[in-house]
Amino acid sequence: MSELPKKPFLYVIVCASGIAGDVGKLITAAHDRRWDVGVIATPQGLGFIDAEAVETQTGYPIRSAWRSPGDPRPLPPPDAIAVAPATFNTINKWAAGISDTLALGTLCEAYGLGVPTAVLPYVNAAMAAHPAYSRSLEQLREMGVLIGSYRPHPPKAEGGADQFRWEEALDLLAPAISPQH
């Protein structure tokens, strides 16, 4: 009896951005490309998503906090990671090596583990003008992180949700890892 090949596992890390509620679009696109998906939200990000809908869609519990010692791991290890949407806060902390959320700990460790990682920042231009932001993106690029093409939108405006291409994370990761078909 031939077994179906195991699908690669994608972690989607969701930050506290106004567009986080649309993360289901990335999950759908990933499923279409034959990834299994688990979601890790930042503690603030949890408030921006419909956790029940995401868990129903992925079939896995959303993670946000560290498990207790001795508890089983709720998600399989990742073959790749997509950070979408990525906030100013999480981008700067990740680049600086700060690990005070499960999302950040996962990202900081992914570098050493060599897990292919893509980030889709969603930040307004006033925040992006802070010198730390370009330094952080440069640091992440040097670490081999694949960075999305979304350009910061004007502050105090509607934002640019219609310009945000969720599936770009999968396009960026595709050369780094090819899901088996």
Contacting positions for ligand FMN (CB under 6 A) = 15-18, 42, 44-45, 87-90, 101, 122-123, 127
For 153, phi then psi, to 5°, come to -95, 160
For 99, phi then psi, to 5°, come to -130, 50
Taking the least distance from each CB to ligand FMN, the nearer of 9 and 122 is 122
Taking the least distance from each CB to ligand FMN, the nearer of 42 and 106 is 42
Q: How far is CA 45 from CA 42, 112, 139, in A?
A: 5, 25, 23
CB 161, min distance to ligand FMN, A:
9
CB 159, min distance to ligand FMN, A:
7
CB 177, min distance to ligand FMN, A:
25
- Determine the distance from the C-alpha atom of residue 128 to the mean position of all C-alpha atoms in its chain, rounded to a whole number: 19
Residue 146 has which token pair? 């694949």
At which residue do the structure tokens 């179906």 appear? 4
Taking the least distance from each CB to ligand FMN, the nearer of 17 and 58 is 17
d(CA 181, CA 16): 33
CB 18, min distance to ligand FMN, A:
4
